[in-house]
A and B are shown apart, each in its own frame.
Chain A
Amino acid sequence: MRQLLKSREAILAGAILILVGLISTRFGEFAAPANLINVFNDTSILIMLALGQMVVIVSRCIDLSVASNLALTGMVVAILNTIAPDLPVPVLLLIAVLFGAMLGAINGVLVWKLDIPPIVVTLGTLTIFRGLIFLISNGEWINAHEMTASFKAFPRYELLGLSLLTWLAIATIGVFFVLVTRTPSGRAFYAVGGNPHAAVYTGIDVGYTRFLAFVISGAVSGLCGYLWVARYAVAYVDIAGGFELEVVAACVIGGISIAGGIGSVGGAVMGALFLGIVKNALPVVNISPFWQLAISGSAIIIAVAFNARSERKKGRIILKQAERMA
């Protein structure tokens, strides 16, 4: 099993290297370290969201509300910043994480206590959160000049040659790696996703574990909400519209099985990086940015087809034949 995961990531890493190689034949500067750091920085938010989503998908759920959560939390901290400019950024950061986690907890409770399918819950909260932004902002934009300088500067602040945004992404990767591979609750996500019934018999509370996954995903979305608004220095109703599907796409490309139980931190990060590289490379190699959507769509389909091949369980012989006959 471990070998399989390793090889899957190796293949993905190979694909990314080939991609970067191909791009640099058209435009040599692309592979320069400075540019790659830029690409990573630009992809940081997607990486973090993909990690949060990974935990949810691994426990056999899905969270479609991440982009709306991000936008709502972003708007909340932006409004806080305009009415209380003295509030230091770390406090806002904490508020963003807690607020996002609270929104995630709403999803989690509905899935845990009422047993509503996650896709229905998050489809509902996707529209509700998005609508709430309109209610609290009256549909107005919060522009750069209304935000304080420190609010906007935080993600761009350079430390040892990398921006704080990049450092946060790296820290998130580290935290998730430890969480997923070294803690009991991290392993519980895999148990719950792999086989919920078996998980119950080993003493894992399936509902609670899923609740936890949604809270984590919500907290990450909240954090990204602040980062997004601060980075682009604008907050309005439609920010990150449709981004939830890009996040799911990153996970799928990263080899995380939508059926639950399979996936790794490295996979999620590389899936996000793949999309980030494509997005950043298109203008450089003179392909119209309108190609991006079709390319990522094809990448998803290829990745799924590829994953399914290695994931396919060996069924009973009679079943296999029956399947082939159909």
Chain B
Amino acid sequence: MSDQAVEDKSHAPNRHVPDRLASPFQRYFKSWETLLLAVAVCIFVINSFASPYFLDPWNLSDATFNFTEKAMIAFAMALLIISGEIDLSVASIIALASTAMGFLAQAGFGTPELVAAGIVVGLLCGAFNGFLVTGLGLPSIVVTIGTMSLFRGVSYIVLGDQAFRGYPSGFSFFGQGYVWWVFTFEIVLFAVLAVIYGILLHRTNFGRAIYAIGNNPVGAQFSGVRVGRVKFTLFLLTGLMSGIAAICLTSRLGSTRPSIAFGWELEIVTMVVLGGVSILGGSGTVPGVVIAAFVMGMVTFGFGLLNVPGIVMSIFIGLLLISVIALPRLWFGFRSRRKVA
């Protein structure tokens, strides 16, 4: 995947080279985030008209549960995809971390140990992915398809068709607790993480290095960026976020089955791509991902209020994913560009 990105960027012939920046207003107006924000506002307005129950603070607060956990992982995944890699094992890391927590809960450990276990398992899984990709130089898409089966497989070996229940009572705070009024622990965590990741990507050297690697890994290497170390850190972060998401999800559900969070990896990647992150690496923003999380969450919630089955919502999400990428290309693309590969 990173291979392709390199070639595409360096060989593209006759690329239009602008000699000045567009005016700030134009840039703002044409940006992906603005387009997405418009979609979000539309969905919000349509939903409020479609159902009288939509504009209720408690309902909206409940609705945030269906994207906060995925969005936490999506932040780290966005950084990873910008750097030109991908991690498809995130949902399986959740399963493994949740299994570890369930195991410890059965053994009688308290909430702090469970939280520590979730985080440690997440970090270990991330480190394993990172080692395979940066240490052995393997393509991340295949490696993580492998670890996706492996991590969830271990979870199946431990649990089989059983489930872990009986988490300590204090543990339920992470997935069910409220910090203030309608604001759940999860939404507050989501907001804090959004700010942290926004600063990390857009305001630090580390963030600039991620873009550099995504655009041209070899060039980044020669300009002194420690490509391997940055990528390893990103895999570690993705594992960490999966561990944290596992804590929230397990706490919310109150039980662990090996099929927990099944299929989330694709939803998370969808969220990231919808947020304007290029799947080929090199571009994307954290605010975009935040808006995409809200778009997906509100679509799911709004359709749910209208009794639309979940699987029909997934059609909509799929169409949204393809059309938000296809429409701008249809609009702007046919004028100048005839790209090779």
Residues of chain A touching chain B, judged by Cβ–Cβ distance below 8 Å, are 60, 62, 64, 110, 114-117, 119-121, 123-128, 130-132, 134-135, 139, 192, 196-197, 199-200, 206, 237, 242, 245, 248-249, 252, 258-259, 288, 290-301, 304-305, 308, 312, 319, 322-323, 326
Q: Which 7 pairs across A and B sit closest by C-beta, in order of nearness?
A: A294-B153, A297-B149, A297-B150, A196-B341, A131-B315, A300-B146, A293-B153
CB closest chain-B residue, reference A313 = B3
B160 contacts across to A, CB distance below 8 A: 288, 290
A120 contacts across to B, CB distance below 8 A: 273, 279, 321-322, 325
Residues of chain B touching chain A, judged by Cβ–Cβ distance below 8 Å, are 1, 3-4, 7, 11, 132, 136-139, 141-143, 145-154, 156-157, 159-160, 218, 221-222, 226-229, 258, 262-263, 266, 269-270, 273, 279-280, 309, 311-312, 314-315, 317-319, 321-322, 325-326, 329-330, 333, 339-341
| Contact of B150 with A123 in the complex, beta carbons under 8 Å | no
| Contact of B315 with A304 in the complex, beta carbons under 8 Å | no
| Contact of A252 with B321 in the complex, beta carbons under 8 Å | no
| Contact of A259 with B3 in the complex, beta carbons under 8 Å | yes
13 inter-chain pairs at a CB distance below 8 angstroms, sorted by A residue, are A114-B333, A116-B322, A120-B322, A131-B315, A196-B340, A196-B341, A197-B7, A252-B142, A259-B1, A259-B3, A294-B150, A297-B150, A322-B222
| Contact of B311 with A200 in the complex, beta carbons under 8 Å | no
B221 contacts across to A, CB distance below 8 A: 322-323, 326
**Alpha-carbon separation in the docked complex, A301 to B148 (Å):** 10
Q: Is the interface of B mostly helix, strand, loop or mixed?
A: helix
**Known interface pairs A259-B3, A305-B138; A300-B149 also in contact (CB < 8 Å):** yes
| Contact of B149 with A294 in the complex, beta carbons under 8 Å | yes
A237 contacts across to B, CB distance below 8 A: 311
CB closest chain-B residue, reference A201 = B340
**Known interface pairs A126-B266, A308-B137; A249-B149 also in contact (CB < 8 Å):** yes
**Alpha-carbon separation in the docked complex, A292 to B155 (Å):** 12
Give how many A-B residue pairs fall within 8 Å (CB-CB). Answer: 172
**Known interface pairs A120-B279, A123-B266, A294-B150; A114-B330 also in contact (CB < 8 Å):** yes
| Contact of B149 with A131 in the complex, beta carbons under 8 Å | no
| Contact of A291 with B318 in the complex, beta carbons under 8 Å | no
**Alpha-carbon separation in the docked complex, A322 to B218 (Å):** 9
| Contact of B145 with A259 in the complex, beta carbons under 8 Å | no
CB closest chain-B residue, reference A199 = B341
**Known interface pairs A197-B340, A293-B156, A322-B221; A301-B311 also in contact (CB < 8 Å):** no
**Alpha-carbon separation in the docked complex, A210 to B146 (Å):** 25
| Contact of A134 with B309 in the complex, beta carbons under 8 Å | yes
| Contact of B266 with A293 in the complex, beta carbons under 8 Å | no
B3 contacts across to A, CB distance below 8 A: 259
Contact of B146 among A124, A192, A297 (CB under 8 A): A297
B273 contacts across to A, CB distance below 8 A: 120, 123
**Alpha-carbon separation in the docked complex, A114 to B279 (Å):** 15
A132 contacts across to B, CB distance below 8 A: 315
| Contact of A128 with B318 in the complex, beta carbons under 8 Å | yes
Closest CB-CB distance, A239 to chain B, in whole Å? 14
**Alpha-carbon separation in the docked complex, A283 to B125 (Å):** 29
A292 contacts across to B, CB distance below 8 A: 153
B1 contacts across to A, CB distance below 8 A: 258-259
A323 contacts across to B, CB distance below 8 A: 137, 221
B218 contacts across to A, CB distance below 8 A: 319
| Contact of A134 with B229 in the complex, beta carbons under 8 Å | no
| Contact of A290 with B157 in the complex, beta carbons under 8 Å | yes
**Alpha-carbon separation in the docked complex, A153 to B322 (Å):** 39
A291 contacts across to B, CB distance below 8 A: 153, 156-157
**Known interface pairs A135-B312, A326-B227; A294-B145 also in contact (CB < 8 Å):** no
**Alpha-carbon separation in the docked complex, A237 to B151 (Å):** 26
| Contact of A124 with B149 in the complex, beta carbons under 8 Å | no
**Known interface pairs A197-B7, A242-B263, A305-B138; A128-B329 also in contact (CB < 8 Å):** no
**Alpha-carbon separation in the docked complex, A196 to B226 (Å):** 29
| Contact of A124 with B329 in the complex, beta carbons under 8 Å | no
| Contact of B319 with A128 in the complex, beta carbons under 8 Å | yes
Closest CB-CB distance, B1 to chain A, in whole Å? 8
**Known interface pairs A249-B146, A301-B147; A206-B341 also in contact (CB < 8 Å):** yes
**Known interface pairs A116-B329, A124-B319, A326-B229; A304-B138 also in contact (CB < 8 Å):** yes
Other than A124-B322, A127-B315, A131-B315, give 20 A-B pairs with Cβ distance below 8 A.
A64-B266, A114-B330, A115-B329, A116-B322, A117-B280, A124-B318, A124-B319, A128-B319, A130-B311, A134-B309, A139-B311, A197-B7, A197-B341, A252-B142, A290-B159, A297-B146, A300-B145, A301-B147, A305-B132, A308-B136
B149 contacts across to A, CB distance below 8 A: 245, 249, 293-294, 296-297, 300
Closest CB-CB distance, A53 to chain B, in whole Å? 12
CB closest chain-B residue, reference A256 = B142
**Alpha-carbon separation in the docked complex, A304 to B326 (Å):** 33
Closest CB-CB distance, B256 to chain A, in whole Å? 15
**Alpha-carbon separation in the docked complex, A117 to B329 (Å):** 12
